[in-house]
Amino acid sequence: MATNTKIEWTDTTWNPVRGCTKISPGCKHCYAEAFAERFRGVKGHPYERGFDIRLVWDKVLEPFSWTSSRMVFVNSMSDLFHPEVPDAFIIQIAKVMMEANWHTYQLLTKRSDRLKKLLNGALRFAAGAPHIWWGVSVENIKHGKPRIEHLRQTPAAVKFLSVEPLLEDLGTLDFSHINWVIVGGESGPGARPMQESWALNVLHYCRMYEVPFFFKQWGGVRKHKAGRHLQDRTFDEFPITSRNTMPPPSKRKAIAALLGVQLADAR
């Protein structure tokens, strides 16, 4: 499988938006910000403008250029539902995902109120597609639990939680209508440690609600040393969804060309 990412639960990242702003404690050590700011002012670099938010129109049709079917993390370097990203742009991204339906897309946001509003409105056409997984981040009780409720109130066919960085014991959890849970500790300089009992608590509720559980990492300053075993084993569970057949290159090109004309009209 082709891959351009070290993220354990996906094959590829696709970033039609770059940049973001912090919204809750999970953002404190945002890896995307740290990466992007390293290149601020470097002429010609994709992150020449650091972590400032911008739409990247020439990336919008990128999924059509890949020669194999992939698991795609959409906007690993941003948050698609950030208030500075217009509804019209989000809708274009959803149209691409609906057309290039031989990939599986994973979207993750901390702006769950907007996710809820759009999936119940302008994005409803994409909500029920099993190849598009809609997710929210859950780092603590105060900010994370309301996001789970927002997600549950959407018609998304596949709903998932990224419980990372897990910053405290989340206590009692309701995972009804949730299809996948990822857990991970924070990594990098100044990483806030995750206790085993917090991760085991999430695993307990995954088992209770029969939700697939993916344990990403312990994290810490030396992430690879800490590894990704929880109680002497790895957890690499995924939701079971079918994959659409990838059409031949000529057909992919034709769909992309048609969509390209529509996108140009929409800009």
Query: Which residues of the chain form contacts with ligand SF4 (CB under 6 A)?
Result: 20, 22-23, 26-27, 30, 32-33, 78-79, 110
With 0-12 / 13-18 / 19 or more C-beta atoms within 10 angstroms meaning exposed / middle / buried, residue 170 is buried
User: CB of residue 110 vs ligand SF4: minimum separation in angstroms?
Assistant: 4
User: CB of residue 111 vs ligand SF4: minimum separation in angstroms?
Assistant: 8
User: CB of residue 75 vs ligand SF4: minimum separation in angstroms?
Assistant: 8
**Residue of 124, 111, 184 whose CA lies nearest to 150:** 111
Residue 101 or 162 with smaller CB distance to ligand SF4: 162
**Coil vs helix vs strand at 166:** coil
User: CB of residue 167 vs ligand SF4: minimum separation in angstroms?
Assistant: 13
Residue 75 or 179 with smaller CB distance to ligand SF4: 75
DSSP 12-69: EEE-SEEB----SGGGTT-HHHHHHHTTTT-TTSTTTTTT--EE-GGGTTGGGG-SS-
Residue 51 or 105 with smaller CB distance to ligand SF4: 51
User: CB of residue 170 vs ligand SF4: minimum separation in angstroms?
Assistant: 18
Residue 150 or 252 with smaller CB distance to ligand SF4: 150
Single-letter code of the amino acid located at 147: R
Residue 32 or 97 with smaller CB distance to ligand SF4: 32
**Coil vs helix vs strand at 106:** strand
> What does residue 79 show for φ and ψ, rounded to 5 degrees?
-135, 110
